[in-house]
Structure 1
Amino acid sequence: MTVKQAIGLALVVAILSGVVYSCKRDNDQQLVNQEKQTLSDDVKQQISSLGYSTENARVVKGGYVVEGDIFLTHESLNYKPNSPVLRIANDEQYRTNCLIQGLPRTITVTVTGLPAGYATATDIAINRYNALGLRLKFQRIASGGQITIQYASLGAGVLGQSAGFPNCTTGNPPSPIYLNSDANALGSNPNQNYLATVIAHEIGHTIGFRHTDYFNRSYSCGGTPVNEGSAGVGAVWIPGTPTGADPNSWMLACIPNGANRPFNANDIIALRYLYN
């Protein structure tokens, strides 16, 4: 190769490198712009008006995820809360305004694209519900379940995410339930009782349960106190559940790494009140 050819080749490489860098820079700028749009003042105000914290709110397909594991559609941001049942909370059990309809009923669950241990953990979670003899039961099937459990990249600090709460018109559960595929979130072979606790928690949302500590997430999550409010879906006290502290409920907002939370006595009271 001559000196002239070498200089020419260097110029071509430099130009191509500049093009690649420019594309990356443009893509990065696009992501920054999307993030700014996600956290715009208007969106923050809409999220806050529903009673949710805007801290770590993020955009996903079809809407936003707030409070770690709660999905809000774009349409739901325009909801105007008017529920008269929201009350000053203690550590009680709470449900949404709408529940699963058509009892007695069996809801089918499919685990897809996950390691084998996740199916076993799902069976443990299902057995926790079915052991209570409720009029609402669950059954895992190979495909086509009414609720699908699958992987998704949810970001740091999030274990799982439900698609919302029961549909007020149909009385059906939402789907899917996402479990975090990100490294160091759950892993390919987590403790099965721990994983069953996460899955049972997300199933709890799909059948109408709010976080036990929705009024103060710092109770289980630490950090700054945050009240989720009615969130456009209601926060209805379930009679018979206590007003004192309930530190072991399966529906607390945050689950410590490796924790196993089978239903405690108050959880069972709440489940039987709604679905017996």
Structure 2
Amino acid sequence: MRKHFLFFALAACVGTLSCKKQDVSTTAPASEISSVTLGKIKSLGFSTSGVVKTDAGYLVEGDITLTDELLNSNNNQQLLRIAETEQYRTTNLVSAPRTIKIKVSNLGTAYVSGTDLAISRYNALGLTLTFTRITSGTADITIKGFNQGPSGGYITLGSSGFPSGGKPYGTIQMNTNSQAYGSNPDVNYVGSVIQHELGHCIGFRHTDYMNRSYSCGGAATNEGASNIGAILIPGTPSGPDANSWMLACSNGGNRTFNANDKVALQYLY
């Protein structure tokens, strides 16, 4: 998830922060990424604008990690569509029923409390997926820190990826740079971003993928559905879907599931 940096000052922040910083010097710009790889990214229906090579794969759309495994797969992916601002998912879903164990690694109390908040919001829906935070043992998802300042008018708040083999994506990275959440991160703000990244981990794409300007501002962008189909979720509105938890860019505050998000989650899980 990203945030338009020009609006950063609007965020109110409270709490404490203590984190382990991660070196981000291992990333490479799109100019160093082959045309073949960019073609694979586009064929899956993702934007090739601003792609960044990382140790885990390729960061697209600001916060989604595409692994080499996913890029080289032949999945017949589908989308769940809600009105003109759509709720998307890949066919890479998590096998359910399942309890997903989450561990917070070397991050401060705001991130731990934010994780608990996100978990409580998912569990309140009564899904076939149950989330729990652990402090020892093997986790299904580990939440780690990285430190990266703003670039191009935006700052990355967190990133994650999509499920594979029936398992959730295993890592959520949260930005510990003070220009992301401030020096005293607000638990509701941090928890809302973790909630968003967990959505990717269980198979959801950005709600405003077809027009990212809906939440990010700037020029309207529409990458097209490529070779990906669409499934309409019955009972959803015919107009844009405001305040979805899976909008591409943060509003700088507390954002949770709206009514259509709950429909999409309960449709899948």
Q: Decide: shared fold, TM above 0.5.
A: yes
Which structure's relative contact order is higher, taking Cα pairs within 8 Å and 6+ residues apart? 2
Task: Specify whether residues 75 and 95 from structure 1 end up closer, same or farther in structure 2 by C-alpha distance, changes over 3 A only.
Answer: closer
1:96-111 to 2 correspondences below 5 Å: 96-103=90-97, 105-111=98-104
Choose the corresponding residue for 2:243, options 230, 240, 248: 248
Cα drift, residue 94 of structure 1: 2.1
Residues 1:266 and 2:260 are matched in the alignment = yes
Cα drift, residue 127 of structure 1: 0.6
Asked if structure 2 preserves the Cα contact closer than 8 Å seen for 1:50 and 1:79, the reply is no
The higher radius of gyration belongs to: 1
1:177 counterpart SS class: strand
Asked if structure 2 preserves the Cα contact closer than 8 Å seen for 1:109 and 1:146, the reply is yes
Asked if structure 1 preserves the Cα contact closer than 8 Å seen for 2:163 and 2:203, the reply is yes
Instruction: Give TM-score, length-normalised by structure 2.
Output: 0.78
Asked if structure 2 preserves the Cα contact closer than 8 Å seen for 1:89 and 1:215, the reply is no
**Which residue identity is paired with 1:267?**
D
Residues 1:146 and 2:140 are matched in the alignment = yes
**Which residue identity is paired with 1:226?**
T
Corresponding position of 1:165: 162
Structure 1, unmatched stretches of 5+, are 1-30
Cα drift, residue 62 of structure 1: 3.5
2:181 counterpart SS class: coil
Percent identity reads: 53
Instruction: Give TM-score, length-normalised by structure 1.
Output: 0.76
Aligned residue pair count: 238
Structure 2, unmatched stretches of 5+, are 1-24
Deviations 1:68-97 (A, max 9, x none): 101122354445675476879612322211
More helix by share: 1
Cα drift, residue 239 of structure 1: 3.7
1:47-196 to 2 correspondences below 5 Å: 47-79=41-73, 83=77, 90-103=84-97, 105-143=98-136, 144-156=138-150, 157-162=155-160, 164-167=161-164, 169=165, 171-196=166-191
Deviations 1:180-218 (A, max 9, x none): 123311244211111111000000111111111111111
1:219 counterpart SS class: helix
Deviations 1:203-235 (A, max 9, x none): 011111111111111111112323355588876
Could you tell me how far apart the structure 2 residues matched to 1:265 and 1:245 are? 13
Instruction: State the Cα RMSD in Å.
Output: 2.7
Could you tell me how far apart the structure 1 residues matched to 2:80 and 2:204 are? 14
Corresponding position of 2:198: 203
Deviations 1:1-20 (A, max 9, x none): xxxxxxxxxxxxxxxxxxxx
1:139 counterpart SS class: strand
